Structures are given as C-alpha cells and as structure tokens.
Amino acid sequence: MKVILILVFFMISLIAEDNSIVKLEEKPLKNEIDINNSFITKYEYGKMLYNNPRGIGCNTCHGNDAKGKKIVDFKHEYKKKIYNCELRVPSIKDVDYNTFSTKVNSKKNPNLKFAKEQVCEKLIYYANVMPTYFLVEDEIEAIYYYIQNIKKK
C-alpha cells in the first residue's frame, strides 16, 4: 500500500496544473549561447603553469615574484686562469610579450659575441640553462598574464 501511495504522489508531481506531463528542459545548442567552461581564472591557470609548466617550474629559477635570483656561484678554469662565476637568472617581470614568448619555446640562444674577458658570461650563455617547454600560445599567454599580475605580498 505504501509503495502504491509513493508511486501515486510521484505521478502527481509529474503532472502540471493543465494536466500535461512536465517536460524536462532541453539543453540549448552550443552555438545558441556563449558558454564559459572555465573552472579556474586565467590568473590561476597562469600561476599553475608558472609553478609547474612541464617539469621544472619557472618559479624555481625566476622566483615566486618573477624577479629572478642567484642560482649558484662556481669557479671555472680557462687557459690556466680561475674565474669566479655566478649564475643569476634574470627578472621576467618587465619583459615584453614577444621576447617572453620567443624565449619560452626557444631551443637555443641566438649567437652573440663576447669579449675575451667575459668567460663566465659566455660559458653561461652557451650552456643555455633555460629549459624548452613546448608550450602552446594559450599557455604562454596565461603565464605572461600571471607574471604581469602577481599579487604583491
């Protein structure tokens, strides 16, 4: 008896005031409305990529504020002379977008000329320590957006 009453109440709830069965709403076609499927903001997406794009995060070398930092001091012997070198990663906070985009996906540095005494600079430059990430344009834009809008602490 209880089961029958439950079924009756269920059927009554499906019937509208005009005695027609309530139809479930059909989903609109994608081209009918502009849908934003993002579940995170561009800033959050950029932050996620900045901290771990593919392997080592940008923050590891450029810092959480993107202002760069010293990575290591080392000695290098060249032609029986010892050079005290320092690997310092540059700030990317104020880099223009085209430079940023080019560098992020570059496989190697462009050729530069160095003076004879610039042993450390030449060694670091040609070591090309910046990893290649193979990011798509949307990812590069999101990281750049994040860098330009990092919240001050």
Residue 47 belongs to a domain:
yes
Residue 7 belongs to a domain:
no
**What pLDDT, on a 0 to 100 scale, did the predictor assign at position 122?**
87
Residue recorded with tokens 């070198």: 85
| Angle 104-111-63 from CA coordinates, rounded to 5° | 35
Residue 72 belongs to a domain:
yes
Residue 14 belongs to a domain:
no
Over the Cα atoms of the chain, what is R_g? Answer: 29
**What pLDDT, on a 0 to 100 scale, did the predictor assign at position 43?**
92
The CA–CA distances, whole Å, from 95 to 98, 119, 141 equal 8, 26, 13
Range of the domain at 129: 28-148
Residue 38 belongs to a domain:
yes
- Grouped pLDDT means (10 residues each) for the chain, 153 residues: 48 46 48 60 92 84 93 89 91 92 81 87 85 87 94 59
| pTM exceeds cut of 0.75 | no
Residue 8 belongs to a domain:
no
